[in-house]
Amino acid sequence: MTKPISLLLGVHAHQPVGNFPEVLEEAHLRCYRPFIHTLHRYPGFRFAVHFSGWLLDWLLQHYPEDMALLREMVERGQVELFGAGDTEPVLAVIPYRDRVGQVTRLSDKLEKKLGQRPQGAWLTERVWEATVVPALADTRIRYVTVDDYHFLCAGKSAAELDGYYTTEEDGRRLDLFPISEELRYRFPFSPAGEAVAYLEKLADEGRDAAVYFDDIEKFGIWPETYEWVYEKGWLVNFIEGVLDSPKIRTQRYADYHAAARTRGVVYLPTVSYSEMNEWTLPAPAANEYADLVARAKAEGRFGRDKAFLRGGMWKNFLSRYPESNWMHKRMLALSARLEKLPPDRRKPAMLDALYRAQANDAYWHGLFGGLYLPHLRRAVYHAIVELEGALDQCDTRPAREKHDIDLDGRDEVFLHNAALQAVVRLDGNASVIEFDSYPLRHNFADSLMRQTEHYHRKIHLGENHGQHEGSGIASAHDRVAFKHEILPHDLAADVRPRGLFVDSIRPWDGAPAALQDYRIEAERGLALSFTDGTVEKRVRLEENGLDVIYRFGPEACGVFATRINLAMPSCDGPAGRFVFEGRVPGGFGQAVVLEAARELLLEDDVLGGAVKLTLSEPARLASSPHFSVSQSEAGFEKIMQAVTLTLEWPLENIRRELRVSLEVMHKP
C-alpha cells in the first residue's frame, strides 16, 4: 500500500490597513465566509489559516457569527491558526523591537479571540532574511512557511522538499516549511480532479508531505474565481476528492511538525517568491530578467535554471521608489523616537499608530496596486502624522531641524508648529516634499512620480493573455486586461518631483526652463530663503498655512510658473470640488482653467477640511488630475494621485514680488 501523503494546506487572509469598507465587505461575502462555511461542513479536512490582525479585528466586529464558526473549527482540532506581525509588516524592514511587538500582539489576539496561540507564522510576502529568526523564536514561533524557491536557491532539489528543515541565527532555532510552487499554481486554477490526481501522484512517488500556503483571496476574489470555486463547485469537489482518496491525508502543520523530524540544517539566501524578483527590479533590469526567464522556459530549461535566475530582493522597492523609501525612513525615525520616550509617557495609541505605519502594502508594487493606491499610502501617512503629533505633545522637538532622513545624500529641512509641518529637500528644486496637517492627520504632498514600469511594454505591444486554454481558469499572474483606456501620454515618466511649488520660467520664444538650481541662503525661524541668481524664493510656515514668496531680478523675463501637487483624499470622486468666486467650476478629477484667479478653495468631504489658495497677483490657473498607470489583478488601470495646480504669470505684467499662500482649513 502506498503511504498516504500529508497535505499541509494553509490559506492566508489579508486586507491592507486603510482599505475601503466596501472592499472588505465584498471580500468577506465572496471569499472568507463561503470558504469558512464550506470547510465547516467537513470536520475531517484539516488545514491552517492566517488572518492579519487588522482584518481579524474588522471581521470580529462585523461578522462575529462567522468568526464563531472559525473558533469552533479551532476547538475541534480542524484548524490551526498561524501568526505574523499584527498589521502585516515585512518583518525584515522593521526593527527587532517592533518585530517582537507586532508578532506578540497578534499571537495574544488569536489566543484571546479564537482560543489558540500560534506555533507557526506566515511570513509576509515570504520575504526571507535570516535577521528575522531571533524575533520569531523569541516570540515562541517554532516554524514558518517560505517558498520552495528559497530552498532551490540554497541548492536543494525539488525531490528533497517534502518535509521541513531547520535554520538558526544568533543562537535561536526556527523550522522552515517549503511551499510548493506547483501547488500554488494548481490550487484552485486547475480542475479539482486534476489537483487531487496530482497529489496522489506525489504519494505514489513516495513523497511524505505536500506543502501549500497561499492567499485565500484566490478562492473567490481573483477574477473568475468565485464562480469557479463556489458556484461550479471546485472547493467542494477538491475537499471530497481529498477525503475520499486513500493516498492523501490532511494534517495541521502542528501535528506534522510534532510527529516528523527535521530534514537537517539549511541556510536560505535573502529572497522572496519568484514573481517578486521581477517586480522589485527597475524597468530595464526587470525586462531583461523577464526575457531571461521567457527564454529559459522556451528552451525547456527553466525548471533546472530558475534557482540561478534570481532577480532582485524586496528591499529594492525602497531604493526604486523614492516615495516608499521616504515613508519607510520616516517610520523608522518615529519608531526610534518612541523607543527613547520614557515608559510612563508612552500611550497605547502611539504604538497602535506606529504598527499601522508599518503595514507592508503601501511600500511596494507588483501584481497588486500597493504603493500606487493613494488610500493605502494615506493610511500610512495618517498613522505617521498621528504618531508624530502625539510625540510632539510630550517630547518637544526644535521647530526647525535638518536631517538626511532618506539617506540620499541631500538634507531635508523640517519646519513645524503645533498644527502644520513642511519639509523641503535641499536638492535644488526648493519644493515642499511633505506638507502635514496634524489636526487632519494628512500629508498634502503625498503624491507619486510617474515612472516607467516593466509591465508598460505589455501595453505598448498590445499583449492580451486574458483567454485561458484548457479546462481550468487563468491565474491573475497570467492575465493581461485593461480596466481603462491607456494613451501614450499616460505612460510618460516624470522628470521632476511631484511636490508643492515646483518652479519654471518659459521665455517668450522658448520651452519652459526648470528652476532647479536653487541654493539655500538663510534659515531663520520657520522660514527658508533660496536663490538661483535670478529668482529669490522664500518658504515660510505660518500658524495655519504655508507662504511662498518670490522676488524676480530684472533679468527674469517670460512666463513664470509654479506647480502645486496636492493630495486630496477624494481624488476624482464626487466628494471633492473647487469653489471659485462662489461657484463650483468642477471637481478635482476634471480639467479646470481659470483666468486672472486670485483665490481658489479646494473642499474635500473625505478629508473633512479644505485648502484655500490665495495669490497676491492674479494668475492663469490650470488644474488637472495627475494620473499614473499601474497593473492590478483586474487589469491595467489609471489611478489619480493628486490635483496638479499650474499657476502662470507673465513677468512683465506683475510686480517683482509675488506671494502664494496655502491655508489649511478643518472642521472643528
Helix (H, G, I), strand (E, B) or coil at 426: coil
- CB atoms under 10 Å from CB of 295, counted, come to 13
Contacts of 126 (CB under 8 A, 6+ apart): 145, 146, 147, 150, 179, 272, 273, 276
Q: Can you tell me the distance from the alpha carbon of 66 to that of 217, in angstroms, rounded to the nearest whole number?
A: 17
**Nearest Cα to 9, choosing from 206, 176, 145, 168?**
145
Catalytic residue among 57, 215, 352, 494: 215
- CB atoms under 10 Å from CB of 342, counted, come to 8
Contacts of 231 (CB under 8 A, 6+ apart): none
231 is catalytic: no
Helix (H, G, I), strand (E, B) or coil at 176: strand
Q: Specify burial of residue 407 (Cβ count, 10 A radius: 0-12, 13-18, 19+).
A: exposed
What is the side-by-side strand order in the sheet with 143-147? 120-122, 143-147, 172-179, 165-169
Q: Can you tell me the distance from the alpha carbon of 551 to that of 345, in angstroms, rounded to the nearest whole number?
A: 46
Q: Can you tell me the distance from the alpha carbon of 62 to that of 10, in angstroms, rounded to the nearest whole number?
A: 24
Q: Can you tell me the distance from the alpha carbon of 637 to that of 31, in angstroms, rounded to the nearest whole number?
A: 23
- CB atoms under 10 Å from CB of 115, counted, come to 13
Cell of 31: 471569499
Q: β-strands 79-81, 442-443: how paired?
A: unpaired
215 is catalytic: yes
Catalytic residue among 57, 72, 111, 125: 125
Chain centroid offset of residue 321 CA: 12
Q: How many helices (H) and strands (E) does the chain have?
A: 20, 27
Active site residues: 125, 215
